[in-house]
Structure 1
Amino acid sequence: MACSIRSCLLLGWLFLLFSQHALSAALPLEKRDPRPVRAMRELRLAMREDTGGYYAVWRDGPGGDYDLLIEARVDEQTNTLYRRSARQFNLKTKVRTVTAREAMLSFWKRKSTQPLESIRHIVYNIIINQETLDAIQHVVDSNQPRCDEGWCRVKSGEAGFQYLVESSPHAKGSIRIIDDFVEFSNHYVSSFDWQDTKVDKNPWFRVNYQPGSLTSKMAMDRPTRREDFGVALICALPLEFDAAVLTLDEIWEDDEHHYGKAPGDHNHYTFGRTGRHNVVLLLLPNMGKSSSASACASLRHSFSALRLSFLCGICGGVPNPSPDAHIRLGDIIVAEAIVQYDFGRQYPSEFALKDTIDDSLGRASREIRSFLVGFKTDHGRRNLERRTATELDVLQAKAVEDGSWTKFTRPSSSDDVLFRADYPHRHAQSICCSDEAACKQAIETSCEQLGCVVDSRQSRVSCEEQPSTPSRSRVFIGKVGSGDTVMKSGKHRDRIAREHDLIGFEMEGAGIWDEMPCLVVKAVCDYADSHKNKKWQAFAAAAAASATKALLGRYNPGSSSVSPLQAAPAFEPPPSGPFFSVPHRQNSDFVDRPDVLGRVRNLFGHESEELKRARVAIHGLGGVGKTQIALAYCHWFRKRFSEASVFWVYAASVGRFRQAYNDIAQLCNIPGRDDPTVDVLPLVKEWLEKNHRGKWLLVIDNADDTEVFFHPRTAGTNFGIQDEAEPGGDVGRYVPECAQGSVLITSRNKQAAVRLTHGKQPIEVNKMTDDEAGELLRSILEDDTVSDEDVSLLSSKLEHLPLALAQAASYILRESVSIEGYVSLLDQSDFSVVDRLSEPFETVGRDSETPHALTATWMISFNQIERQHPLAGKVLN
């Protein structure tokens, strides 16, 4: 009986222990760690936006160094807090004035519109390697952790994770995991507790529970035949090939004779694996189109099952392909179309490009276009840039192991120098060099030795770049020029780029483009001018190879639509909606403008559901808050009409208008969207106007330029006569109009607003009141104690303009100055006001190509006035 009692007591104790243990894992995070979360201002934390949606958050320590620096971001879709890195600098003092946990939760409180209770988990990035996989596998298989809905909770102190946290050479206690492999995108490890790993060495983690599947995914069997290879990597230079090899997860050196080649194929191949893709590498025998075309014809003959090829390497970049795009050395260029710019007819007076259907290479294949479309969004591009940076870190680490570290490091930003396009690389005073031509000696001499004039060049170092946040390669997608000549002239570069809308120049893409489906991925190593040198070639080769691997990680050959947006495959039935295509999240700092929003609702008839107007325009100065009002209306409309669709078109240029319509066509799977003979503008207009589409709202933002919307002959008049549209304008005819649709237009140009609403008076957005300005400032500053006097003082200085107030608040937070101190800076001089209002800053609702600084916003308005009304421009100037 006693034994039985002891058994019962033991079982009861075990049950109680298990229940408490299970309860601690199942409780919400804030219940398991009820410590209060202080605001960033209280913790003296500063913040600035980094790349890929991450923010650098830091606190200055007592010794003048950072006390703590973390990189984090919030994802409100999954209620997840991501931490990319965490570093503490004042290690000698052994004083932690703020922990990483406090900083991260304070960051969530500052950036998220959701309460702290909504956080599901915190994700720490960790380097995936075989040791890490073995550790995860051991925990999953050996300890059989408790699971629910396919996820398991295990403790870091248990066997495998103890090794992961304390012993892995790739962890070293910092717990960094890279989840860049598609196979492991759902197998990453994430913290499941508030506890900081520096304080509590035994936090909970969650792991996707698939026993035996993790290591088996990486350890794939070698292919047995040539038909098992679906991807080819093609390089033109040995340096590019060396970088590409470093991206392979496995290399099969001795298998060329095993797989064999087709008769007459003289190529030399290297075989390996990247993620789950079997890859064949080809180094071209020579540079140029003919060499690449011949080699790829043989490649396709030997490997008939290839679905996709990547041409990766280096190229020359167009430094400023548009006013808002600035390409720098080391940036990535992905071609969506190839222009063979040296293929044509030379007449006595000019060179004429052959651009008929039979002669031109055209755009990429349908599968590649579907694959690339997601990377054209801000979210997709930033994600690709982050993945590229991660792969580059891994590549450089492998280069260290091979003893070739110096080959792939990033050169100093001071070596990124751009000369004026009309400044030639030649001797300054020499009888061998003319004004236009340079002698052979000058061509072979560096700029430093030649003494190229400093006044004729400019460093491309960003004034915002800090030593603690090294520069990252950015990604640009556009048309690339391909020819058999090396472009070494700034004047020719700019002229050809303008004529064909190019962002870069290279030499092999035109030869491959017609042979097989190909993605051209190049990194910029020079500016395609006479001052080019080889300093950036190795790093550019590594950056291109890393971007290629990042893209390949997202490629799924089993689907015809594999973009990061997960668009529906081509043969699925079109989605029925509703659709919500608004590029900005809801702004938690938005101050309600009930008078304007109420008038918009009344004019549309959305309150009474009685249609009054199909189009409504809001008009006002740049920076007065028109886009924020439109954004708020989108989210109100979505809640009010849950079955309705909402679309957003950024209309500052014809190109952006057309791109937005193309995005709508892709999102809604509109039939005919991939037909090269179909114009997407009337296609989307007619689709929206069909009665069975249901209720929808279309926002046309920044409709400021009449030349974008109306035929040039009528852009400055009120006449309705319109001829056939000339290239580049007259998109106003493609704004849809029907009973079930509403079009909300924002514009600084009252004439454009009136014409787009068929002569109706637009709603004028006035400056903020003192109360509204105070609410905005207190919301951004997270300080309810800001006095009415300070609000009134600052608001009157900035004319009660929301954008100027938001910009001022951003500066006050960043520089930790008082409102009175900021006003003192403004009072120094008129130039001081211009300087303060010229600084860019981050705010919700501003398009990536719209300047965030107030003065830049006004400059766009002035430029439009000067172009359309030269006399008025002279008066204002």
Structure 2
Amino acid sequence: MRPKSRNDFAIAIICALPLEADAVEVLFDETYDRLGKYYGKQPGDVNMYINGRISKHHVVLCYLPGMGKGSAASVASSLRVSYTGIQLALVVGICGGAPPPPNYDEIFFGDIIISDTVMEYDFGRQYPGGFQRKSGVKDTLGRPDREIRTLLKSLQAYNSRIEFQDQVLQYLHMIQQAGTRWHHPDIDDVLFKASYLHKHHGETFSIKCCESDVPDYICHDALERNCEDLGCDNNQVIRRQKPIKAANISVHIGTVGSADTVMKSGQHRDAISRKEGVIGFEMEGAGVWDNVPSIIIKGVCDYADSHKSKSWQAYAAATGASAAKAFLEYWRPVSHDDASKNRHLMIPFGRNPRFVGRQDEIHKLDDLISMPDGAKKLAITGLGGVGKTQVALELVYRMRDREAECSIFWIPCTSYEAVEQAYMTIAQMIGIQDAKPAEVKDCIKDYFSQKDEKWLLVFDNADDLDMWTKGSSTAPPLNDFLPYNDQGHIIFTTRNRKLAVKLASADVIHIPKFDKETGLEFLEKSLIQKGLLNNAYASIALLEQLTFLPLAVAQAAAYINENSIGVSDYLLLLQEQEADVVELLSEDFGDEGRYKDMQNPVAMTWVISFCQVQKLDQLASNYLSLMACVDPRNIPQSFLPQSASKKKMIDALGLLSAYSFITIQLGSGSITLHRLVHLATRNWIKKEGQFLLYIRKAADRLSKTFPHDDHTNRQLWREYLPHALFLLEENEKCGDMLG
């Protein structure tokens, strides 16, 4: 039945060339309307549409006024205004293929290129030394949504791909019955060496590209001629396929390069293909990608080099259109409106508008959740203040937006009481009204273990090992109450990697500190006065002083905003005496993304971790306190007192590493203590009244381990000298504590 209004169209097909649109329209099973006679469009929308049906899908075919990303972006934006129900856009047509070097044994004319990622390879800066593509997280396009990714993954399986390719051939035969122009051109498929240019060769031409002073110059006349006319050297051919073998069509799924310029350089093509894994080049996909969930589906008509020929365009347009129709046979979109009515959402924080970076980590988590037989329990680990909660929160909001049927519940694990309160709230939301407090966790475990719909539980700040694995005299361990169901997933955020492994096995994602580019972006989003970042040197120096730790950067930005000072001013404050720096890093600040009963200043955020380490392993606590008394970099393991067994020492260092307090270098085994953790630990043991005790213990260890006056110990001198000097300087500052 023909749709009653424009809102009933869920699929858009966008074509840049009339040839591409003609091929698509041939495969319409039914045409409803042409050029808006029946369905019309919104005022101001200058697009031209053809409405029809492909299989069971109501489709709107949209013409572009011209080639390029800008034109595509404008058309896609107007499309969303007139057709509000669009769930998926297919960018269909022809493209340049990029056979992967060095073997070039894949991708032929007529093959299908399907995007799972789009890269804007012309987006960057031109420097004197050449063009540098921007590759930061904020400068690259995201991945398609989960529904699209899941279908693309399934099509990459061997049997599914063979079935899909057979379906494409069936539809190609249908198109070819409609006209001879869609047939195979019956000429050789030729790939030249990447460095060999399509230009005038020989002495018979009055116009010769070789007369130019520019080495890679190709004149306009050459671009309009075919290889036979120009005398392109057959000895420069690296691959040739005869027409008799060209009946097979292969489907390639991967990264597609999109730009406002046509790729006509084999060398540039190969360079991008090697570095970025690009399998095809086109000009419209990036413009659509940012406006509507989309996939690029195109037939290969050239090899993105200078030897372009229009002879293959119609055939490639036919294969691209056939692949688009075959793809729609597999597309089963979720009815979001119906699914969302039955779900529950319990998320304590709003979405973080300053969230930046972390795309790799979120994609890994996303992929683990998306796999049909993938992990059901996952953990996010990292140093306190590195942004574990924010990564989980961003992932939750992305799932909320795309998984309309998925219920999400967030459980803060700051205390056993907080967990119990969250469980009581969940029980009320899902309709378990009569359960007693002592029974509610068992009831919820049973409920989620049997639930047919998708669900996600997030246990945030799951740091207390005893709470999860041992319990207490009045409360069993929380691990006993975790549900299991093929429809559900559980995510833990924890500072303790050892606990993460116990809870989630190998499915643990570590969150590192910011890199420079992401740190600058976060600082910019956090500051009220953006002009403060004009001093790039001071901004980077500040990030380095704060070790690129997100919590420290957020605290610094809050202080700068509140006191109307510059970045350089805050940087000077970090150069003050240790006590002043600790006071600065102890400044409380507002943060809507943290729990009200938790202290959020940097100098305080690790106190709970210090106490947990002390409770779990006294040897680890002693090691941490000793290392706080010497230089935090490259501490020899021999400096640490030997324990009764090698295993206890390994366990103690493993615990400190699990909390991301230390890094153990491979090979040498030397230890580096996180610089801000070093400062916070010193402050902690001072407050505990044990600073003098550990200073003396450190001095005693150095006197026992520092090598004797023998030139054979020269390497050991180099290792221990910075720590001896650090301790002597400490002694001078504090007034001869060592006697």
TM-score computed with the length of structure 1 as normaliser:
0.39
Q: Which has the higher contact order (CA 8 A, sep 6+)?
A: 2
The structure where helix makes up a greater share of residues is: 2
Say which one has the larger Rg: 2
